[in-house]
Amino acid sequence: MSSMAGDRVVLTVREVGALLRVHPTTIYKLTKEGKIPSFRIGPYWRFRTDLIERWMAEKSMHARQVRKVIESGVNGKVRRKREGR
């Protein structure tokens, strides 16, 4: 478990924002778009620590896979940087 989350099972918007190093407004946007695992208790959004950590790991894996595709180029041809660019 991350040091930010400590022993907490449930995090607030502010805590998730601090963990991800983004503004709380960004967290609200992600929750409304259904892009981050969350649930509501009355008017308040809450986040299970285990699901946020898994979500972060999945996003990291996806980013690595996309980078590999971009670096490999179209049709498997390796793209090389042009000199002078």
Q: Is residue 3 part of a domain?
A: no
* Among candidate residues 7, 6, 11, the one with its CA nearest the CA of residue 55: 11
Amino acid 80: pLDDT: 61
Q: Is residue 48 part of a domain?
A: yes
* Backbone φ, ψ for residue 41 (5° rounding): -125, 100
Total domain count, the chain: 1
- Retrieve residue 62's tokens: 């996806």
Name the residue range of residue 44's domain. 10-73
Instruction: List, run by run, the mean pLDDT of 10-residue segments along the chain (85 residues).
Output: 64 97 97 97 97 93 84 65 62
Amino acid 1: pLDDT: 43
* Backbone φ, ψ for residue 60 (5° rounding): -65, -45
Residues in the chain: 85
